[in-house]
Structure 1
């Protein structure tokens, strides 16, 4: 059994998925096709579907006109090892979109992302509740995550 996330784009699906694949190492656009027949979403040629991989996750996408806008109930989490990776992805994915608290951003297509340091998970699972509290308080004040700031909070 395989599980694949599926994204519905109103328009510009191909550009979006090619951009995503160019930003996440190890990613590929596996296939794109235009449906040659009438669909409930439109006439022949108006609907595209695609398969792609971001890192180690499989996705499918459809471009079929308006339906439901992306929202926070689905987001893509990217764990980064370095501040440079966070900074690069934050800039690229956030361009034309909007940034939010706690490492969240919405890209120009409306898709929500969480750009997080892998180190945050380690700090949040520390057995010292005082350390976790300090890290949590620091995290809640951040928009883009700052690994050095999280480490400083952990040290107290």
Structure 2
């Protein structure tokens, strides 16, 4: 895991102490802006924030790529940037973002909007078109998992089907 420390002025713009930051490199190079615009379009209560484009070609980053940007998904701040140096890695399943859906209809809609790699689907996990891994789970998953045989049922699912618990 990598950490990025950012000096801020909390008296001017208070925010959370820990924020997810996505580095778009490798196969996802120069996709930070399209990704956040896509995500903001499908998640409720979301918005774009500040962006700092490179302004000129910087390594593999195009002039329009961002060295820093921020956006909110369902009220949660996320930072994103395009790598300014060539990377031999991109996103993988070691890190995933979790979205708690309110009922099967919302779960189905989020799954349909995000899932882009069918072979990566398992137990509520999916991979989107930018290579980011997600867990789309019902907001009552703890309750569902307390039912007899729940683990075995979950292990047999790709997209979670609440009614099957």
Gaps in structure 2 of 5+ consecutive residues: 1-15
DSSP-derived class of the 2:90 partner: coil
| Root mean square deviation of aligned Cα | 2.2
Q: 1:137 aligns with which of 143, 149, 152?
A: 152
Q: How far apart in 1 are the matches of 2:75 and 2:138?
A: 17
Deviation at 1:122, TM superposition (A): 2.0
DSSP-derived class of the 1:102 partner: coil
Q: 1:45 aligns with which of 57, 60, 63?
A: 63
Q: How far apart in 2 are the matches of 1:43 and 1:109?
A: 16
Q: How far apart in 2 are the matches of 1:15 and 1:105?
A: 19
| Residue aligning to 1:97 | 117
Task: Note if contact 1:119-1:147 (Cα within 8 Å) is conserved in structure 2.
Answer: no
Deviation at 1:86, TM superposition (A): 0.8
Deviation at 1:56, TM superposition (A): 3.1
Q: How far apart in 1 are the matches of 2:64 and 2:49?
A: 20
Gaps in structure 1 of 5+ consecutive residues: 151-156
Normalising by structure 1, report the TM-score.
0.80
Q: How far apart in 2 are the matches of 1:140 and 1:119?
A: 17
Normalising by structure 2, report the TM-score.
0.76
Q: How far apart in 2 are the matches of 1:90 and 1:44?
A: 31
The structure whose residues are more often helix, as a share, is 1
Count, aligned residues: 142
